[in-house]
Chain A
Amino acid sequence: MDKGSFKVKVGLAEMLKGGVIMDVTTPEQAKIAEDAGAVAVMALERIPADIREHGGIARMSSPSIIKAIQSIVSIPVMAKCRIGHFAEAQILEALEVDFIDESEVLTPADEENHIWKHDFKVPFVCGCRDLGEALRRIGEGAALIRTKGEAGSGNIVEAVRHMRQVQKDVRRLTTLPNDELMAAAKEMGAPFEIVRQVAKTGKLPVPNFAAGGVATPADAALMMQLGAETVFVGSGIFKSEDPADRAKAIVLATTYYNDPEKLAEVSMGLKDAMEGLNIASIPEEERLANRGW
């Protein structure tokens, strides 16, 4: 019996497609997310908007919070570890979280190396801003890729930029003859074999989700229409005035992302979304997307 192989890891990512994964900090929030139709929850100590506001070092959640959330919901429970912090990842694996997010939202533990994710039985998701970054993470063993966007900003502009960039990079690879692929791999800083595979198939070898700035049903629909296969919502739900209703509306918007009438219907009657930040107002050194390479 084969457990923890790459195929088994990607298998769970396949099951999450067409859904919404919600950041939660308490068992109560996890229950609200599950009742709203989330396909998974991300257990965190603080949501990205609060991490941004309060500063300090953001670390893996406390195991007791993760355990409490696991005991209250039946959907998959994910958790974040710091970039390069493989000991946090080992602890999360021992807790049997269903997915580990090696995330730029937490303070990086290693400014040079990411985790060698092939060593783990639990699948990993990692953020990216372009195809080269996505393929480096897949080379290290990530079973799922998401855009970084700009977490905790409530602003979709960076997620759009990153999703379009990945798609553009994939399209370009498919137009290159074999003898230009090595140079493309060099330029992107990506593993050649995976570059060749993407050039041949025209898609990433793992699912590609969107994250970082989704605050409304329309944001979720936008990312799905741009090619995301599922949407992560971080601060957008529990920083809004009406988490339960908004969560449910975003779930429906993700399924009916290309039905404008349905989108209008689910967007009606919602209270205020999170306020959000202009990216230009965030100093370069405080931008979370710049963490990791």
Chain B
Amino acid sequence: MSLKSTTIGVLGLQGSFVRHIAMLDKLGVQTKQIRYPNEIDNCDGLILPGGESTTISKLLDEMKLRERIQKYNRPMFGTCAGAILLSNNSDDPLVHTLNRVPINTQRNAYGRQVESFIASVDLSFDKKPFNAVFIRAPKLLQPGKEVTVLGTINGEIVFVQYENILLSTFHPELTDDPRIHSYFIKQLIRK
């Protein structure tokens, strides 16, 4: 499968989807903004972007996308709000999670926007740390046994893999560094 024949869908209901699409374009794969259930079918992978998880959760129900994503068995990558949605459980009752990854998420775990930050993430697959943007970020808590930790800041889990799903609490699409998206494409989609 060549890069050009790989299509990655980006859930485009609300949030940072345009920046994800721009990053994927740069890496040479085809992209598709997903707003309707049938658009998911032809994608080799799916990204759930950051944004407001309460808003995205409501729109998933409104457009009958929830069940489609729950049954989707190809690789997925959830960033920030997307990670909350793919987790088994969130502390906010307004967010109905998709229960795809055995891990709990705590919304806005570092506080409000004044506590948003940039920090360097230590990666398990690359010696060079990743300078990452955390915006009103969640925390990933109580990971199940089969969850692999891929990234930490000061020992705190911020990036994990479970089967063919990645979750990050930061926004790799807001930087110019393509390594996280490359990992998703090379290790999960085209392996």
**A residues touching B (Cβ–Cβ < 8 Å)?**
1-5, 7-8, 11-12, 14-19, 34-35, 37-40, 74-76, 93, 96-99, 121-123, 251-252, 255-256
Contacts and interface: CB of A to CB of B under 8 A. Distances in A.
A93 B114 contact: yes
9 contacts: A11-B174, A14-B50, A14-B174, A19-B14, A19-B15, A39-B52, A97-B112, A99-B113, A255-B14
Contact of A7 (B15, B51, B118): B118
B12 A252 contact: no
B107 A98 contact: no
A70 to B, nearest CB: 8
B51 A18 contact: yes
Contacts of B12: 18
Interface of B: 12-19, 35, 50-52, 54-55, 58-59, 62, 80-81, 92, 94, 107-108, 111-119, 133, 135-136, 171, 174
Contacts of A4: 114
Nearest to A5: B118
B58 A17 contact: no
A12 B16 contact: no
Given A7-B118, A15-B15, A39 B51 contact: yes
Given A12-B135, A15-B15, A39-B14, A75 B54 contact: yes
Nearest to A98: B113
Given A3-B117, A7-B133, A34-B94, 20 more contacts: A5-B118, A11-B135, A11-B171, A14-B174, A15-B15, A17-B14, A17-B16, A17-B18, A17-B51, A19-B14, A19-B51, A19-B52, A38-B55, A39-B55, A74-B94, A96-B111, A96-B112, A98-B113, A122-B114, A123-B113
A34 B55 CA distance: 8
A206 to B, nearest CB: 13
Contacts of A18: 12-15, 17, 51
Contacts of A39: 14, 51-52, 55
Is the contact region of chain A dominated by helix, strand, or loop, or is it mixed? loop
Nearest to B51: A15
B94 A15 contact: no
A15 B55 contact: no
Contacts of A1: 117-119
A201 to B, nearest CB: 12
Contact of B135 (A8, A17, A40, A251): A8
A110 to B, nearest CB: 24
Contacts of B16: 14-15, 17
Given A8-B117, A17-B18, A96-B114, A256 B35 contact: yes
A2 B119 contact: yes
A98 B136 contact: yes
Nearest to A96: B112
A252 B14 CA distance: 10
A15 B117 contact: no
A39 B51 CA distance: 8
Given A12-B136, A34-B94, A3 B116 contact: yes
Contact of B113 (A19, A35, A122, A255): A122
A74 B13 contact: no
A75 B94 CA distance: 11
A215 B81 CA distance: 29
B25 to A, nearest CB: 15
Contact of B50 (A15, A74, A122, A251): A15
A62 B187 CA distance: 52
Contacts of B113: 12, 76, 96, 98-99, 122-123
Contacts of B58: 37, 251
A39 B59 CA distance: 12
A8 B50 CA distance: 14
B116 A14 contact: no
Contacts of B118: 1-2, 5, 7-8
Nearest to A229: B18
Contacts of A74: 54, 92, 94, 107-108
A64 to B, nearest CB: 17
A96 to B, nearest CB: 5
Contacts of A34: 54, 94
Contact of A15 (B35, B52, B115): B52
A20 B54 CA distance: 12
Nearest to B175: A7
A37 B54 CA distance: 7
